[in-house]
Amino acid sequence: MKPKLYIVSTPIGNYEDITLRALRVLKECDFIICEEYKEARKLLSHYQIQKELVALNEHNEKDISSEIISKLLDGQSAALISDCGTPLFSDPGHYLVSLAIQNKIDIVPVPGASSLLSALVGSGMDFEKFYYYGWLSPKREIRKKQLFDLKRIRETIIILDTPYRLQTLLEDVVKVLGENVQIVLAFELTKGKEKFYRGNALQVYNSAKKENLKGEFVLILRNKISDHNKT
């Protein structure tokens, strides 16, 4: 059989959100490629799965990918997972997948939980067309410049950032894009504290500041109402 590299989506918070197919692949593959051992072991332990783990992260991807490809070409199969959600979105693994394709190794996506789609479908915004920006710069001046550049985007925009920068990001959105830009903050999706904060930027920022929010989030915003929604 041809070697296979499975791209396996895992839950973004609630462990019940894994697919039957994902569980089968994780149980049947020869080894699992993870981002961090701690998170992977915690996840696999929950499902009572014991497998050889190979860590692949931004620091070692170029070096470890060749070793992984050698194992696959020897006839083994592997599952690539991230710390949570769908791999490769703002996560390492792109170089490995590219190398696998070069070596004619089958890439098999195993779809599942995604914070982006979960946030979009719960936002109430029109997302027939959307612009995924991803992670902003941790440097505030660069981040403000990035937000300023987003003023020209008229589709729904998706932004990610780390939990501890949530309030400063919202503050920058108010200052750069204006307090009336419409946003949805999808906070702690699928977890016990899951909540959607909807309104203009100033309203959501005030709520985040008042509740001292700090947690995983997806920020969705719209600069203006699209033309087909105008009256």
Q: Where are the domains of the chain?
A: 4-110, 115-229
Q: Whole-angstrom Cα distance, residue 108 to residue 3?
A: 10
The arrangement of secondary structure in 4-110, i.e. its CATH architecture, is 3-Layer(aba) Sandwich (3.40)
Single-letter residue type at 6: Y
CA atoms within 13 A on the CB side of 194: 12
Mean pLDDT by 10 residues, the chain (231 residues): 90 95 96 95 96 93 94 96 91 94 96 94 92 92 94 92 94 94 96 96 96 95 60 38
What was the pLDDT predicted at 106?
95
This prediction has a pTM of: 0.87
Q: Are strands 4-8 and 106-110 parallel, antiparallel or unpaired?
A: parallel
Element (H, E) at 172: helix 166-177
Q: What is the pLDDT of residues 18-53, one digit of tens each?
A: 999 999 999 999 999 999 999 999 999 999 999 999
Architecture of the domain delimited by 115-229 = 2-Layer Sandwich (3.30)
With a CB cutoff of 8 Å and minimum separation 6, the contacts of 225 are none
